[in-house]
Structure 1
């Protein structure tokens, strides 16, 4: 086991940030794109929306507007984070069918006993189990995002999703050997504040398309030129919005988990604020209103058609077509 200290904390902070930056670049290059809406089924949208519920409640407008593409980017990153957290950012020295063992391990109050038990399990672990976990995570992510990646880019996207899952496994395998138990959590112990880390905007469509088409020049070739996390310098202040969530907790949409020990945070949660999400939420609500109006109109037309059909079948006119008093009775 490796003694946990300030140097190790900073080292793994940098490693976890590197994984996030790779994942961020991947989501920006492959999901911040125009897509052919005719090729995306209602089932695809439903599956993507279900995936969103794993970690956040981001809106997902069905269009190619900039806010809609921002949300596809954020949702894709959130889905990747969820499946990595479920399959990889776990005690990889315990098989996935032994969740109870993992839970009990976190409840060992004596630190020395916990470290000893963990060190024994790490020595006898099946190395192949970790890669199996990484493969599972990659396949689950691809299942959700495939309809939202341009077909010409999907092969490259698939390869890089698999790579980032394996890279995350490598980093996490090293983290497991620290004397302090590190956990990934979508419910941060450190509450987000105005000064917290927000996700910056993804690159422009032109830049994203150009970078995605450059053969062999992916995020795994040295990573981004600068960290994608940290700071709120690009945020804009907005006037109060009556449609905004009422509580500060609801106004934060967690995209990437927090990594922490029982004593401190090693790498903070990444999130979007209501200000960043509001344009897409407004568009999504307009779409919902339009769909409801269309359903209501179709229902009325269907009812009217049924009434006409019954009138003709019985040899009479519907009440609203008779030359009478307007209630179906003849004029006196």
Structure 2
């Protein structure tokens, strides 16, 4: 007779199988499910065999009952003896039937449990397949992400190489340029005031004073200054006397000559200049101010200190040649030293303007349509001293009528931005 498996054992085996399923993954889970399924199928077969044997036993019992009935008819005498046995047999039969029914119910429950387990195995198989598919997709996405990362790193390295190359180029460019700075109006006006004060003080100290009678009476001493004034198309009178007006005219003439020498050699965008100032005109006429600024920064780097010194010397030579004849011998050396010092200081201060991003230019043309941009030449000469005249010298007065024409003797300084001009407000001019 086949071994009968109790429901508790089957249920315990099923629970252990489910726990094994829950505690394992991948191929081991699937293999465990298959193994449990096979075990359940074997248990189901064993239960069927037990049920068949139980049915056979029941048939045999029914046969014995029929045989007993016949024996009752045949052997009434033995009925009482057999009644007890028959009752016992009926009791056993009822118990067997009851046990068979219970076994049948248990078998049906086990069959249902097997079906559920099989359904769960099928669902788990689908879940495993889905997990495998997701895992493959994730692997593919990871590979694609790594490829994108490698590509991004390559592009980043290429970009960094370009940036490094640009930085190296910029360093090389900066090696050949001087960085320009933003325009500082307050600083500019302060320096222009200082330049103007230096020039005025120099003029008053050396030509705004009483001159010797010998100097005043000799026309040859005035030739150089008059030639310069005439060449500049300036009609500034030069009375050969020591009156306050005459001193003022000498100071104005001196400033007119000095300012035009400064405008020619110092008040320029760069000290790389020639007599005709082609390079400065080129910079001033450039429409692209960024290119003009870059050109100035390159020229500033390339310009040695000797250029500024050479330009200052040109100014000194030009002015000294005109003024020297008016000075006494002992004063001429002092005047030249003072003139050199002033020109050197002006040149050094103007280097600040050359480094501004906003170009500053000196304008010596009087514009009558903008009279408010100009102011009258101040009376800056000291009070007249009493003049000791020689008996043979007469005061020489200028010929002709003095007109009301305005003559610039010191430039106005202008900044230009976006084709708009702005006057910095430092200029002087005499009223004749």
Q: TM-score range by the shorter chain?
A: 0.5 to 0.7
In structure 2, the CA distance between the partners of 1:195 and 1:182, relative to structure 1 (3 Å rule), is closer
TM-score normalized by the length of structure 2: 0.50
Equivalent position of 2:414 in the other structure:
260
Residue 35 in 1 paired to residue 189 in 2?
no
Equivalent position of 2:194 in the other structure:
18
Residue 51 in 1 paired to residue 228 in 2?
yes
SS in 1 for 2:424: strand
Partners of 2:197 and 2:302 in 1: CA distance: 32
Structure 2 counterpart of 1:68, from 233, 246, 250 = 246
SS in 1 for 2:409: strand
Residue 251 in 1 paired to residue 428 in 2?
no
SS in 2 for 1:136: helix
In structure 2, the CA distance between the partners of 1:85 and 1:127, relative to structure 1 (3 Å rule), is same
Verify the 8 A CA contact 1:188 1:258 in the aligned structure 2: no
Larger Rg: 2
Shift of residue 136, structure 1, vs aligned partner: 1.2
SS in 1 for 2:407: strand
Q: Deviations over 1:173-210 (max 9, x none)?
A: 11101111111120156855368422221232579xxx
In structure 2, the CA distance between the partners of 1:140 and 1:170, relative to structure 1 (3 Å rule), is same
TM-score normalized by the length of structure 1: 0.64
Partners of 1:140 and 1:35 in 2: CA distance: 21
Equivalent position of 1:117 in the other structure:
295
Structure 1 counterpart of 2:264, from 86, 93, 98 = 86
Partners of 1:98 and 1:146 in 2: CA distance: 26
In structure 2, the CA distance between the partners of 1:24 and 1:165, relative to structure 1 (3 Å rule), is same
SS in 1 for 2:226: helix
Structure 2 counterpart of 1:153, from 325, 331, 340 = 331
SS in 2 for 1:197: coil
Shift of residue 99, structure 1, vs aligned partner: 2.6
Equivalent position of 2:185 in the other structure:
9
Residue 105 in 1 paired to residue 283 in 2?
yes
Which structure has more relative contact order (CA 8 Å, sep 6+)? It is 1
Shift of residue 21, structure 1, vs aligned partner: 0.7
Residue 269 in 1 paired to residue 427 in 2?
yes
Q: Deviations over 1:104-155 (max 9, x none)?
A: 2211101211111111111111221110010110121111111223444332
Q: Report the count of equivalent residues.
A: 234
Q: Deviations over 1:40-88 (max 9, x none)?
A: 6433322211222326321011222222222112111221111111111
Verify the 8 A CA contact 1:199 1:272 in the aligned structure 2: yes
Shift of residue 22, structure 1, vs aligned partner: 1.4
Structure 2 counterpart of 1:193, from 371, 380, 386 = 371
Structure 1, unmatched stretches of 5+, are 208-241, 275-332
Partners of 2:296 and 2:181 in 1: CA distance: 14
Partners of 1:10 and 1:18 in 2: CA distance: 12
SS in 2 for 1:264: strand
SS in 2 for 1:64: coil
Verify the 8 A CA contact 1:30 1:150 in the aligned structure 2: no
Verify the 8 A CA contact 1:186 1:254 in the aligned structure 2: yes
Structure-to-structure mapping, 1:160-171, within 5 angstroms: 160-171=338-349
Structure 2, unmatched stretches of 5+, are 1-178, 386-399
Partners of 2:373 and 2:275 in 1: CA distance: 40
In structure 2, the CA distance between the partners of 1:192 and 1:63, relative to structure 1 (3 Å rule), is farther
Equivalent position of 2:352 in the other structure:
174
In structure 2, the CA distance between the partners of 1:160 and 1:49, relative to structure 1 (3 Å rule), is same
RMSD: 2.5
Shift of residue 11, structure 1, vs aligned partner: 0.6
Partners of 1:188 and 1:198 in 2: CA distance: 12
